Amino acid sequence: MSAKILYGKDFAAQIKESARTEVDKLKNQFNVTPGLAVIIVGENPASQVYVRNKHKTCEELGIKSEVVALPETTTKEELLAKIDALNADKTIHGILVQLPLPEAVKAHSDEILNRIDPLKDVDGFHPMNVGKLVTGTPALVPCTPAGCIEMLDLAGIEIDGKRAVIIGRSNIVGKPMLHLLMARHATVTVCHSHTKNLPEITREAEILVAAMGKPKFVTADMIRPGAVVVDVGINRIAPKKLVGDVDFDAAVEVASAITPVPGGVGLLTVAMLMKNVVTAAKLQLGV
């Protein structure tokens, strides 16, 4: 058996197209242009690529984009003051602080992220938005796990009643993924570095989500024949070589559907960010 390959490009294009339609509606009906501000501190090259990509996608969809580039020496107080100003700015509907922050302010990451107005928290990291997700009234949801669900829906893959296993319990991927899958009536197990007999558990999964950050860790014998495999991992194993958490070449022979790395889930994250900016604008307008 050779699995269906779920290319992120096709799904991302559909998500962006629907965001563009919503942007046009907000402009035509309410005379509002959704706006995103991305704060980047320091010169991390990977972060600069991500921020450029977000800016370019905003421009493509007619979303106002403001990149706030601050020097490495920026203090916590200066960052908080910038967030306060953006919280008060009526032309900005979404605020995102590009992570990781430089060493000098890294220890204050939570305080900095929590300063963002929950209605403008397009990364979905604010405790208020986390709480809403957990209690089943999601508002703004972290982009990567939300993108995985959107992709499964667009691919016509049923979630209801399925046995799902997630490897990874981070606040950014694993935990929100648990709540999103559970809200869609999957029966979910979350595994982590203390989990015993991991392959035994992953072999039960009809939907297997790998989000651990360990190159090619998930081997074919860990996958139930016919499972849907969502590989969130992005691991650089050589200057120009990215691989996922799943041994793709072997897994493709066992799974019924699988996302590649690169070219899979990674492409959905920015598309979902655009969707979140539109959602944030609507929440602020009360429409």
Which residues are designated catalytic?
A: 54, 98, 123
Q: Is 212 an interacting residue with respect to ligand NDP (CB under 6 A)?
A: yes
Q: Is 2 an interacting residue with respect to ligand NDP (CB under 6 A)?
A: no
Q: Is 230 an interacting residue with respect to ligand NDP (CB under 6 A)?
A: no
Quick one: which of 185, 192, 236, 241 contacts ligand NDP (CB under 6 A)?
192
- Which residues, 104 to 123, sit near ligand NDP by CB under 6 A? none
Distances 133 to 15, 171, 232 between C-alpha atoms, Å: 21, 12, 20
Q: Kindly report the number of other CB atoms within 10 A of residue 40's CB atom.
A: 21
Q: Which stretch binds ligand NDP (CB under 6 A): 25-33, 120-128, 250-258, 263-271?
A: 263-271
Strand arrangement, sheet containing 94-97:
64-70, 35-41, 94-97
Q: Is 194 an interacting residue with respect to ligand NDP (CB under 6 A)?
A: yes
Count of chain residues binding ligand NDP (CB under 6 A): 25
Residue 121 token pair: 């928290």
Instruction: Work out the angle at residue 181's Cα, subtended by the Cα atoms of residues 176 and 182, and round it to the nearest 5 degrees.
Output: 95
Q: Which stretch binds ligand NDP (CB under 6 A): 14-22, 129-137, 187-195, 279-287?
A: 187-195
Q: Is 203 an interacting residue with respect to ligand NDP (CB under 6 A)?
A: no
- From 12, 24, 17, select the one nearest 281 (Cα to Cα): 24
Residue recorded with tokens 């996922």:
244
Residue 49 token pair: 């690529």
Q: How many CA atoms are closer than 13 Å to the CA of 251, on its beta-carbon side? A: 28
Q: Is 47 an interacting residue with respect to ligand NDP (CB under 6 A)?
A: no
35 vs 145 by CB, closer to ligand NDP: 145
Measured distance CA(56)–CA(251) in Å, rounded: 34
Q: Is 53 an interacting residue with respect to ligand NDP (CB under 6 A)?
A: no
Quick one: which of 35, 138, 233, 260 contacts ligand NDP (CB under 6 A)?
233
> Phi-psi category of 216—alpha, beta or left, where left has phi over 0 and alpha has psi -120 to 50?
left
Q: Kindly report the number of other CB atoms within 10 A of residue 87's CB atom.
A: 15
Q: Which stretch binds ligand NDP (CB under 6 A): 31-39, 118-126, 164-172, 201-209?
A: 164-172
Q: Kindly report the number of other CB atoms within 10 A of residue 59's CB atom.
A: 11
Calculate helix-pair angle for 266-285, 8-30, nearest 10 degrees: 20
CB of 41 to ligand NDP, least distance (A): 19
Residue recorded with tokens 């605020």:
95
35 vs 168 by CB, closer to ligand NDP: 168
- Binding string, 118-147, against ligand NDP, x = CB under 6 A? --------------------------x---
Quick one: which of 168, 179, 246, 276 contacts ligand NDP (CB under 6 A)?
168
Q: Is 149 an interacting residue with respect to ligand NDP (CB under 6 A)?
A: no
Measured distance CA(76)–CA(70) in Å, rounded: 12
Q: Is 165 an interacting residue with respect to ligand NDP (CB under 6 A)?
A: no
**Interface ranges with ligand NDP (CB under 6 A):** 144, 167-170, 172-174, 191-195, 198, 211-214, 232-235, 265-266, 269
